[in-house]
Amino acid sequence: MSKILEVKELVEAGKSKKVGAAVQEALDAGSQPAEILAAMVDSMSVVGDKFSAGEIFVPEMLIAAKAMSKGVDVLRPLMAGDNSASLGTCIIGTVAGDLHDIGKNLVTMMIESAGFTMVDLGVDVADEKFVEAIKENENVTLVALSGLLTTTMPSLKSAVETIKSCGLSGFKVMVGGAPVTPEFAAEIGADGYAADAGSAAVKAKELVK
Amino acid sequence: MNQRENFFAMIEGKKPEFIPNSMEVYKSCILGTSITDSPLMGGVDSFGVNWVATKEGAMPEPNKFMFEDIADWKAHVHFADLDSLGIEAAAAKELEDFTQDNRNEQVVNVFSGCGLFERMAAFMGFENALCSLVEDPDACREFFEALADFRIACHNRFIDAYQPDVLTYFDDLATANGLFMSPKVYREVIKPSHKRIVDAITSRGVIFSQHTCGKCEEIVGDYVEMGAKIWHSAQSMNDLEGILEKYQGQLIVEGGWDSSGAASYIGATVEELIEEAKRCAKVYGQKGNFILMPTLLNENGNSLIVGDPRLEPMLKAFNEINHI
């Protein structure tokens, strides 16, 4: 088995203790860092698809993301300054009035695994904070908003409106959360919607391409 | 039949006269679990976890973990001395206006919050807890066994103090899309301790009600097998009609309300609430094993706690069409 294939399989199986060494072996065998990173992104894409299809569950997705993170740790020093594989920066947060972070955290991991640099603003984020973060960070290509409760759906609407009318451009806005539907996302002016963390990564890539 | 008689007809698999609703059939008791498990108004619980009060109820302070590796649980988890918590005084206060006549009319339902998995997540966060289930199942099992011992001791104190008919045990194991963990992981890691909790309650002659939000239909059969008689907060993303049919005479499904639908939106009209209640009665209520639980959130929080002027006209309309 090629070393890169081994890395892919280890990431998909969530073997975080073994991925670092396998990445190093792939490098030693002559693979380029960007090539190895792309292989791991592919693995996470497979993981996301399996999650969305109900073939695997949250823990398996989480340990795969952890495993990829271990592999990225090995590659990071070698790829400093090389942003060619990056899909840009994604600002993410749970909207004002909502303290739930599980869904948001899962989406963060999956979007990061797809190749974005994540800026996580946490929970109960005021609309203006999203705008400030867009201004403060470089190459923001995506803003992802989460809300779990029907009572915070108005906050999603308000956040989208504030972000869209802030005068800044070059990014897309996507929304998600248990009560959110594609119709609601379209109604409030979001560019995209995802039903779960796996499809969020797919949608994120689609929106910025 | 009064509410109590109608409820026990359902429990015994007989035909009830009407579809009950959770607000009128139960005297729900929450102060005991507020002391032992999750402080209703927020604050530090008996394990040292800080809870933040939100409009929808208290939740563990986000991103503040007691430990991150389940293998370390013994160094951090200390079980409280139950004699020191004041459970009996809380029960006496909660029942001080509840007379024997009331007991003859209603069903006493004691809540027990923050079950095995939720407690693990309260200690170490959801992501760490979920990873632990597959990365270190042996340490998880050991933790759950110790926690089950504590919960059983708490439940015995609740049963002595409240003399309840029902104990509702809360453990959220699912998202709106499906279980957090695979059914196999649930069955191998959590279920053995969960079953001990169920057995300890039913062995005292108390009806076991399992609360699990979200799409958890894959393990509802496990709940029934363990001895649950009620599945609480059964949400409409599950195949409720199929479950009502399959477990008729064995399981009461309590819930039904579409908590993501129009009747749950801020600003929903009384007419929309009535339509949702009627939909539940028509679709779920006719087999005699359904209790309506309106999960209605408003600007101030959960209507069951903070109240809502729309509930009374909705229940009035529901009670006009709930005969079976």
Interval B185-226: pLDDT, tens:
999 999 999 999 999 999 999 999 999 999 999 999 999 999
Report the side by side order of strands in the sheet with B43-44: B43-44, B50-54, B57-60
Residue B231: helix, strand or coil by DSSP? strand
Asked if pLDDT for residue B318 goes beyond 80, the answer is: yes
Which tokens sit at B178?
Answer: 């499906």
- Give the pLDDT score at A63: 95
Report the gap between the CA of B310 and the closest CA in chain A (Å). Answer: 16
- Give the pLDDT score at A161: 97
- CB-count exposure of residue B196 (10 Å: 0-12, 13-18, 19+): middle
Instruction: Supply φ then ψ for residue B231, to 5 degrees.
Output: -110, 115
Q: Are A103 and B175 in contact (CB under 8 A)?
A: yes
Residue A49 falls in the annotated catalytic set: no
The ranges assigned to domains in chain A are: 3-78, 89-208
Report the gap between the CA of A160 and the closest CA in chain B (Å). Answer: 18
Does the beta-carbon distance from B182 to A178 stay under 8 Å?
no
pLDDT, tens digit, for every residue of B24-66? Answer: 999 999 999 999 999 989 999 999 999 998 877 899 998 899 9
Q: What CATH number does domain A3-78 carry, 3.40.50.300, 1.10.1240.10, 3.40.50.1820, 3.40.50.1100? A: 1.10.1240.10
Relative orientation angle of helices B87-94 and B137-162, to the nearest 10 degrees: 50
- Give the pLDDT score at B202: 98
In order along its 209 residues, chain A shows pLDDT tens digits of 689 999 999 999 999 999 999 999 999 999 999 999 999 999 999 999 999 999 999 999 999 999 999 999 999 888 876 767 789 999 999 999 888 888 899 999 999 999 999 999 999 999 999 999 999 999 999 999 999 888 889 999 999 999 999 999 999 999 999 889 999 999 999 999 999 998 999 999 999 98
Element (H, E) at B139: helix B137-162
Asked if pLDDT for residue B259 goes beyond 90, the answer is: no
The ranges assigned to domains in chain B are: 28-255
Does the beta-carbon distance from A150 to B177 stay under 8 Å?
no
pLDDT, tens digit, for every residue of B134-159? Answer: 999 999 999 999 999 999 999 999 99
Architecture field, domain A89-208? 3-Layer(aba) Sandwich (3.40)
- CB-count exposure of residue B309 (10 Å: 0-12, 13-18, 19+): exposed
Q: Which CATH class is domain B28-255?
A: alpha beta
How many C-beta atoms surround the C-beta of residue A202 within 10 A? 17
pLDDT, tens digit, for every residue of B263-276? Answer: 988 889 999 999 99
Residue type at position A160: V
* Closest Cα in chain B to A14: B135
* pLDDT band at residue B313 using 50, 70 and 90 as cut-offs: very high
| Fold agreement (A3-78, A89-208) | no
Does the beta-carbon distance from A63 to B131 stay under 8 Å?
yes
Which residues does B contribute to its contact with A (CB < 8 Å)? 52, 54-56, 59, 62-63, 126-127, 130-131, 133-135, 175-182, 185, 259-260, 264-266, 297-299
- Give the pLDDT score at A178: 86
pLDDT, tens digit, for every residue of B225-242? Answer: 999 999 999 999 999 999
Report the gap between the CA of B52 and the closest CA in chain A (Å). Answer: 9
- Give the pLDDT score at B300: 85
- Give the pLDDT score at B37: 95
pLDDT, tens digit, for every residue of B64-83? Answer: 999 999 999 999 999 999 99
| B29 closest CA partner among B113, B114, B104 | B113
Which tokens sit at B112?
Answer: 């027990």
Does the beta-carbon distance from A178 to B176 stay under 8 Å?
yes
Report d(CA A164, CA A106) in Å as an integer.
25
